[in-house]
Amino acid sequence: MNDEIESVLITKEELSERITQLGQQIYDDYIDEPIFALCILRGSFMFFADLVRNIGKPVEVAFLHAASYFEGTESSGHVEIDKHMVDVSGKNLIIIEDIIDSGRTLAALIEHFKELNPNSIKVCTLLDKPERRVVPIDVDYVGFEVPDEFVVGYGLDYDQKYRNLPFIGILKREIYS
Ligand code: 5GP
Ligand code: MG
């Protein structure tokens, strides 16, 4: 698996250090407020599990499946959200994402959840590719800005592979071209 990775972009240690900081920042921002953290599956599962462990107060957790349909490594713009069973009314929702690329997935999620009357909505993403943005998004917490490369690992896949790598790496182009 590792020989299909061009280079390591963010090491395990860098991830851990940054996620500790993000957890502290969220703790400070919600000092007197309950938190409802929503994990967007599947890509965010590893980040989510590490992040909530670094928020030093009770956090309600929920999970939701969202898929942006891909042609190879390009998002088609079609976003499907599995909307059942997440009751956010009156909650301080923090949407936890793996990566923001065009912004279409998050725009669809935010539009959906706004209608369900949460007390507040914030967005936390591990990775952000600002150069690729098509839909503007207000992002409250960003782990790392990354260049316009297709990245895998630490939850992120290509064709359902590489999610269990402990680091973020750039996939060799020959794998997907
Ligand atoms: P957006 O809707 O912002 O274009 O795309 C967001 C989704 O596309 C992410 O949640 C992720 O699933 C996928 N995605 C975007 N860029 C990458 C990337 O570099 N690597 C991987 N593995 N997935 C990506
Ligand atoms: Mg995703």
99 Cα to the center of ligand 1, angstroms: 6
Ligand 1 pocket test, candidate residues 47, 68, 96, most atoms within 8 A of CB: 68
Domain boundaries, the chain: 13-147
- SS3 (DSSP) at 55: coil
172 Cα to the center of ligand 2, angstroms: 20
CATH topology for the 13-147 domain: Rossmann fold (3.40.50)
- pLDDT digit string (tens) for 87-126? 999 999 999 999 999 999 999 999 999 999 999 999 999 9
pLDDT score at 67? 79
Ligand 1 pocket test, candidate residues 39, 44, 75, 96, most atoms within 8 A of CB: 75
pLDDT below 70 — which residues of the chain?
A: 69-72, 74, 76-77, 83-84
The pTM for the full model equals 0.95
b/e burial code for range 79-100 (CB count within 10 A of at least 16 → b):
bebeeeebebeebbbbbbbbbb
pLDDT score at 69? 66
Name the amino acid, one letter, at 22: L
Distance CA 133, CA 117 (A): 27
